[in-house]
């Protein structure tokens, strides 16, 4: 009886295993079906990158004169593979255009058609990639040989004539033993039969173990395998996600060479790409490798709608992303301001200049608090850059009602003052929340005299004390300012403040208190005398 039960139990276990395998296959199929629009977008990006790469290669061929007319094996290979790449590009482009309408469509048949043709599309895409890769190496080899005056003896790996009906690269080794990435596109076989190796590849990538990763890839691990809900430890990441997140540059390089998809998204709630993860951690070397693929979507949005640029807080990373075409108008996740706000507030003048040089930059964009980059700025050199780029100097700070001229006068920013005072875009007598004009906020005699010379009203008074600018200059010992004010004739040298005191009395008091010495005091008294005052209004 016990002997008969064992085969029955084994059969039941096999049946349960098959049921789970079938359910897993159905789940994977549904995931692939759901991701069809993203796959088509990636295909379109591949076409654009291949077009740019092929144009670059053709330009280099024309520039170096290696057009294939010398009859050598290398020249024939160069010409044949350019033709083959053009043929493959046309084929892949046709597929991309044909399925582009599926991006926004949820009709079942459209997606199913793409999935049926997926293997054929990937075949042509991989062939195109291999041809372009081979062309780069062949061209570099010829350039080196030409520069040294020697004939290259490196073996050819010609994919064949165009159209490439038998045109697969049959030699898997290129110059000096460099292997050509020919990993087959992920198939159901590799995903289901090598799941353990694929999981281990993700873990090895997170550790930065390059040798283990190579071994697992050779053993058939799926390069783009992503964990599911039953594998929370892997967090829905593929190997490239894990390596990029931890900043393992060597492993990222290996995975990209093995055709890992740089636009793949985490299956978890974050929906991050590898570029999001690297940007968030500031891994510049990893970011540069991803950007060098020329197919990564630099403005991809995560689950919260943020691009990699919006997720980073590092100047060098921002510069790299902007240089790759990231949108400078996107708002950062941590401040709801643009990159220009961030760079201006952190005194990053080089980054500010880079952003201002980009098309589409809005110099007066407001952040969440209604402030522009100019209002966030704390560095005079950056203020000058923003003003020269057309920033509005008449904007006021919320609450304080300060203008940039108030700030420049109070801080003594002479370069900014020079730009503002030579412009007709500023109000010299604008009042802040305390009723003070830029003239009354002047930090030094030089600032005060510059604003006076530009035409500011010299009869403005300080709220409360009732002092005029002349009172303030006499009290501070600013001889040149006193002379300038008296010479204007519009200033009443006998005007009294709220305490009934004239400028002369404030000068006497300051001298008696030791604020300045006899010489300065004598110069101020002499200047005031020229304006017709010898007493303080009380006969003293």
Task: Write the pLDDT tens digit of every residue in 338-395.
Answer: 889 988 988 889 889 988 988 878 899 998 888 999 999 989 999 999 999 999 999 9
Of 22-31, 426-435, 450-459, 521-530, the one with minimum mean pLDDT is 22-31
Q: What is the mean pLDDT of residues 30-53?
A: 66
Q: Is the pLDDT at 163 greater than 60, yes or no?
A: no
Helix ranges, 184-223 (H): 188-193, 195-207, 210-218
Q: Identify which of 311, 387, 316 has the alpha carbon closest to the alpha carbon of residue 348.
A: 316
**Top-confidence residue, 254 or 164:** 254
Q: What is the pLDDT of residues 466-510, one digit of tens each?
A: 999 999 999 999 999 999 998 887 788 888 999 999 999 999 999
Separation CA 74–CA 307 (nearest Å):
43
* Predicted local confidence at residue 210, as pLDDT: 94
Tell whether the model's pLDDT for residue 172 goes beyond 90: no
Mean pLDDT of the chain: 77
Tell me what pLDDT residue 181 has: 36
> Could you tell me the pLDDT band of residue 457, with boundaries at 50, 70 and 90?
very high
Confidence of residue 152 (pLDDT cuts 50, 70, 90): very low
The stretch 311-315 carries a mean pLDDT of: 85
Q: Give the separation between CA 524 and CA 510, rounded to whole angstroms.
A: 11
Determine contact, residues 467/473, Cβ cutoff 8 Å: no
The DSSP element (H or E) to which 67 belongs, if any, is none
Which of 345, 275, 341, 346 minimizes the C-alpha distance to 307?
Answer: 275
Report pLDDT for 167.
Answer: 30
Question: Could you tell me if 189 and 215 are in contact, meaning their C-beta atoms sit under 8 angstroms apart?
Answer: no
What's the pLDDT score for residue 75?
58
Identify the weakest region by mean pLDDT among 184-188, 253-257, 291-295, 467-471: 184-188
pLDDT at 334 over 90: no
Q: Which of 275-284, 490-499, 526-535 has the lowest mean pLDDT?
A: 526-535
Reported as a pLDDT band with limits 50, 70 and 90, residue 60 is: low
Residue whose structure tokens are 């400078």: 328
Residue 336: both structure tokens together = 């709801």
**Cα separation, 85 vs 130, whole angstroms:** 9
The alpha carbon of residue 43 and the mean position of all alpha carbons in its chain are separated, in whole angstroms, by 24
Are 259 and 190 a contacting pair, CB within 8 Å? no
pLDDT band (50, 70, 90) for residue 306: confident
Please report the domains of the chain, with CATH numbers, ordered by start residue: 13-152 (no CATH), 193-327 (1.25.40.20), 458-540 (1.25.40.20)
Q: Which residues contact 426 (CB under 8 A, 6 or more apart)?
A: 393, 394, 403, 404, 405, 420
Secondary structure of 360-413 as H, E, C letters:
CCCCCCCCCCCCCHHHHCCCHHHHHHHHHCCCCCCCCCCCCCCCHHHHHHHHCC
Give me the residues paired with residue 174 across strands: 178
Query: Helix H segments across 270-314?
Result: 274-281, 284-291, 308-311
Question: Contacts by 438-444 with C-beta closer than 8 Å and gap 24+?
Answer: 438/403, 438/405, 438/406, 438/408, 438/409, 439/409, 439/469, 440/469, 440/472, 441/406, 441/409, 441/410, 442/409, 442/410, 443/409, 443/410, 443/411, 443/412, 444/412
- The pLDDT-based confidence of 190 (bands split at 50, 70, 90) is very low
In this prediction, residue 68 has a pLDDT band, given cuts at 50, 70 and 90, of: very low
Contact 530, 495 (CB under 8 A): no
């Amino acid at each position: 009886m016990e002997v008969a039960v064992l085969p029955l139990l084994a059969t039941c276990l096999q049946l349960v295993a098959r049921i789970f395998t079938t359910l897993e296959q159905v789940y994977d199929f549904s995931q692939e079906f759901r991701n069809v629009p993203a796959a088509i977008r990636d295909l379109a990006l591949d076409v654009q990158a291949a077009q740019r790469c092929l144009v670059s290669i053709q330009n280099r061929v024309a520039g170096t004169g290696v057009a294939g007319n010398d009859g050598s094996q290398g020249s024939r290979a160069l010409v044949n593979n350019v033709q083959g790449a053009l043929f493959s590009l046309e084929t892949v482009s046709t597929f991309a255009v044909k399925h582009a309408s599926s991006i926004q469509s949820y009709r079942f048949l459209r997606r199913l058609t793409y999935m049926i043709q997926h293997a054929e599309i990937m075949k042509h895409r991989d062939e195109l990639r291999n041809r372009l890769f081979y062309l780069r190496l062949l061209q570099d080899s010829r350039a080196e040989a030409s520069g040294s005056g020697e004939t290259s003896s490196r073996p050819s790996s010609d994919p064949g004539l165009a159209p490439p009906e038998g045109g697969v690269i049959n030699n898997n080794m290129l110059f000096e033993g460099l292997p050509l990435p020919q990993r087959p596109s992920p198939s159901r076989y590799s995903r289901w039969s090598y799941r353990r190796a694929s999981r281990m590849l993700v873990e090895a990538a997170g550790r930065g173990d390059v040798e283990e990763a190579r071994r697992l890839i050779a053993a058939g691990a799926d390069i783009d395998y992503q964990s599911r809900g039953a594998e929370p430890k892997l967090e829905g990441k593929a190997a490239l996600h894990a390596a990029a997140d931890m900043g393992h540059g060597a492993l990222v390089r290996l995975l990209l060479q093995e055709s890992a998809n740089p636009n793949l998204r985490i299956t978890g709630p974050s929906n991050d790409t590898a570029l999001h993860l690297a940007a968030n951690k500031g891994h510049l070397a990893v970011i540069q490798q991803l950007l060098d693929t020329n197919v990564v979507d630099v403005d991809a949005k995560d689950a919260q709608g943020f691009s990699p640029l919006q997720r980073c807080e590092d100047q060098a990373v921002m510069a790299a992303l902007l240089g790759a075409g990231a949108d400078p108008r996107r708002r950062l996740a941590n401040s709801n301001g643009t990159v220009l706000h961030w760079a201006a507030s952190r005194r990053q003048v080089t980054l500010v200049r880079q952003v201002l040089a980009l098309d589409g930059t809005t110099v007066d964009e407001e952040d969440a608090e209604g402030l522009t980059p100019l209002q966030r700025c704390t560095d005079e050199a950056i203020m000058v850059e923003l003003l020269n780029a057309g920033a509005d100097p008449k904007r006021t700070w919320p609450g304080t009602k300060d203008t940039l001229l108030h700030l420049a006068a109070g801080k003594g920013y002479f370069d900014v003052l020079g730009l503002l005072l030579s412009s007709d875009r500023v109000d010299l007598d604008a009042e802040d929340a305390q009723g003070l004009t830029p003239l009354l906020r002047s930090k030094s005699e030089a600032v005060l005299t510059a604003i006076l010379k530009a035409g500011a009203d010299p009869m403005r008074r300080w709220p409360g004390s009732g002092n005029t600018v002349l009172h303030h200059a006499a009290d501070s010992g600013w001889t040149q300012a006193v002379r300038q004010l008296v010479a204007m004739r519009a200033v009443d040298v006998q005007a009294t403040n709220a305490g009934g005191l004239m400028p002369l009395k404030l000068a006497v008091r300051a001298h008696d208190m030791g604020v300045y010495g006899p010489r300065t005091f004598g110069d101020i008294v002499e200047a005031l005398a020229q304006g017709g005052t010898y007493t303080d209004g009380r006969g003293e």
